[in-house]
């Protein structure tokens, strides 16, 4: 069994760093948090963490070999890109329609958890991260037992939870000073960011897909 304290610190640090990286999850959590407070932002973060947990189990147990295929990764990427484009459209509508406050109620809060999960599961980078993390940690720490991996995953999740809770609380505090026009600007900036993430994911997915589409085209051409 590896030394527990360094292993826990590694997992905690990775959880904080991974969750704090600017991306679609934090962008949508910011937008919803400024409009609706702690709960909408926290639902996005929690949903994404649940998806990360599933990828972690797949990646760290070695089951990634079974699903790490270009075709499947491409499909996940295309689904994720389409989902991001849909959210970007919603944000653009909020920017032009005004009243982000009204958009944050009802179904928008209810769907936050599922949106977070979809963000995570539809992003093949999650699988790549956990597959690489498993190999990297094992190389640096030596052979890790199943218990070690459980501790590592638990520490990672705690770090991610700390980030999600802290960000949601910070956004909730900051929204007290936000005016109606600021909500519209936030929606517009988030829409641009979500569009960027969608285009980037779409492009990388199409590049990945070309690796298996081209051979199929030649075979049936």
Q: What is the pLDDT of residue 15?
A: 83
pLDDT at position 106 is 42
Q: Write the DSSP symbol of residue 177.
A: G
Token couple for 129: 């991260």
- What is the C-alpha to C-alpha distance for residues 133 and 195, in angstroms, rounded to an integer? 28
What percent helix, strand, coil does the chain show, rounded to 5? Answer: 85, 0, 15
Written as tens digits, the pLDDT of the chain (221 aa) is 457 788 788 788 878 877 887 788 888 898 888 888 899 999 999 999 998 888 887 776 665 555 555 666 677 677 778 877 887 887 788 777 754 444 444 445 558 888 888 888 877 667 666 766 655 555 455 556 778 778 888 998 999 999 999 999 988 888 777 666 666 777 788 788 878 878 887 887 788 777 666 555 555 55
**CB of 64 within 8 A of CB of 130?**
yes
pLDDT score of 13: 86
Question: What is each CA distance from 40 to 45, 74, 87, 177, 219, in whole angstroms?
Answer: 9, 30, 15, 18, 49
pTM for the model stands at: 0.71
Give the domain ranges of the chain.
4-220
- Give the length of the chain: 221
* Matching residue, tokens 């590592």: 152
């Amino acid at each position: 069994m590896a030394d527990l304290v360094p292993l826990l610190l590694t997992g905690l640090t990775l959880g904080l760093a991974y969750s704090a990286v600017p991306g679609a999850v934090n962008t949508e959590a910011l937008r919803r948090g400024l409009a609706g407070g702690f709960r909408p932002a926290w639902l996005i973060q929690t949903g994404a963490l649940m998806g990360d947990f599933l990828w972690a189990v797949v990646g760290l147990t070695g089951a990634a070999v079974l699903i790490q295929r270009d075709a499947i990764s491409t499909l996940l990427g295309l689904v994720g890109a389409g989902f991001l484009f849909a959210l970007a459209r919603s944000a653009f509508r909020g920017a032009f329609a005004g009243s982000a406050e009204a958009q944050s109620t009802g179904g928008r809060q209810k769907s936050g958890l599922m949106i977070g999960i979809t963000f995570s599961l539809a992003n093949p980078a999650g699988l790549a991260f956990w597959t690489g993390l498993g190999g990297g940690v094992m190389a640096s720490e030596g052979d890790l037992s199943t218990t070690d991996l459980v501790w590592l995953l638990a520490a990672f999740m705690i770090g991610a939870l700390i980030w999600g809770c802290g960000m949601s609380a910070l956004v909730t505090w900051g929204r007290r000073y936000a005016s109606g026009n600021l909500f519209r600007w936030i929606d517009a900036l988030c829409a641009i960011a979500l569009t960027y993430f969608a285009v980037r994911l779409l492009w990388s997915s199409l590049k990945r897909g070309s690796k298996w589409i081209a051979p199929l085209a030649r075979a049936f051409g």
